[in-house]
Amino acid sequence: MNPKAHNLIARIAVAVVAIPALVYLFILGGWFWTLFVELLVVLAFWELLRLFRMKQRKLPWFYLLELCVIPPLLFHFYLWQWMAPWAFLVIAVMAYHNVRRPEPLAAESNLSDLTVAVLYVGLGFGFFVGVRHCGSDLEGARWLMFMFADLWIADTCAMLFGALWGKKKFAPVVSPNKTWVGFWAGLAGGALVGLVFIFGGWLPAAAWKIMLLAISVSWVGQYGDLFESLLKRRAGVKDISAIIPGHGGVLDRFDSALFAAPLLYFLLKAIVYSYI
């Protein structure tokens, strides 16, 4: 069988099983959702260990993993106000490690790698739990459905229209396949999801707010995808891992959401629930 056809079949098969399971976890919420997010944290951190070759650098990966699993727990127990002290602790631990290391620092310090690994994975996935806690129990589940539907449709539209009509490159150095046509198609796909949720009456917000959220999520999600492409290009790999057949690794699948979830969370607090 053609490798591309085999990959497409694997992608479809995984999606058929994974999407209903993911929606079910959205609805369950509570510890079911938090523990699933923590599993994603562990897998994503393992992928970054491989990507940054941290094991060869003798880094305190176990302690860093412990730091990564803290943000989802803070959101689970509604202790988001402790996020700033957590971030300071991350920076302090990384600075201490680099100051105390016996060998001289390499030409390219691993401090930036450590910062990316812990803040990117810890905070990004932590906001998955934060979004689930926005509003009532049902509303939180629907906000997650809204976010992931927006990102998946935007990604599909960007890929399809970019491949058919895209010529001018959007970010040629980081991702040569990204085009301006794909970028605008992604925004249009996100807006389409917003319209579906508006007419379905599934979200507790005015139409203009839902459209703003939909376009914002699809916009920042595309930059999340580019950021992961930058990490992979820097490491010289196509996929970070092959944990998910046809989709690559956990970060390959959730890269957009790691940028979109924090933005959605703060916008929900600011313009929907007026907590800020």
**Where are the domains positioned within the chain?**
3-272
pLDDT in tens, 100-154: 665 555 534 556 667 777 888 999 999 999 999 999 999 999 999 999 999 999 9
Say yes or no to pLDDT of 225 above 70.
yes
Asked if the model's pLDDT at residue 226 lies above 60, the reply is yes
Q: Average the pLDDT over 50-70 and give the result.
A: 72
Residues with Cβ within 8 Å of 191's Cβ and at least 6 positions away in sequence, in order, are 211, 214, 215, 218
Ramachandran assignment for 136, one of left (phi > 0), alpha (psi -120 to 50 degrees), beta (any other) = beta
| Percentage helix, strand, coil for the chain under 3-state DSSP, each rounded to 5 | 75, 5, 20
Give the burial string for 165-174 (b: 16+ CB within 10 Å, else e).
ebeebbbeeb
> Among 10-24, 30-44, 81-95, 98-112, which range has the highest average pLDDT?
30-44
Mean predicted confidence (pLDDT) in 26-55: 88
pLDDT of residue 149: 96
pLDDT at 31: 96
Alpha carbon 260 to its chain centroid, in Å, reads 7
Question: What is the rounded distance in angstroms from the CA atom of residue 139 to the CA atom of residue 71?
Answer: 21
- The winner for highest mean pLDDT among 4-8, 19-23, 160-164, 236-240 is 19-23
**13-27, 46-60, 231-245: which has the minimum mean pLDDT?**
46-60
CA 63 to centroid of chain Cα atoms: 22
The pLDDT value recorded for residue 276 is 45
- Would you say residue 48 has pLDDT above 90? no
List the structure tokens of 131: 């979004």
pLDDT, tens digit (0-9, with 9 covering 90-100), for 181-212: 999 999 999 999 999 999 999 999 999 999 99
pLDDT (average), residues 13-38: 91
Question: Which of 117, 113, 122 lies closest to 37 in space, CA to CA?
Answer: 122
| Res 158 pLDDT > 50 | yes
pTM over 0.85: yes
Residue 18 has pLDDT above 60, yes or no: yes
Look up tokens 């030409």; give the residue. Answer: 107
* Residues 192, 264: Cα–Cα separation, whole Å: 17
Query: How high does pLDDT run on average in the chain?
Result: 85
Rounded to 5 degrees, φ, ψ at 171 are -145, 75
Q: CB burial class (10 A; 0-12, 13-18, 19+) of residue 220?
A: middle
Distances (CA, A) of 219 to 93, 154, 184: 33, 9, 9
C-alpha neighbours within 13 Å on the C-beta side of residue 118: 26
Backbone region of residue 244 per phi and psi (left: phi > 0; alpha: psi in -120 to 50; beta: other values): beta
- The whole-angstrom separation of Cα 85 and Cα 18 is 35
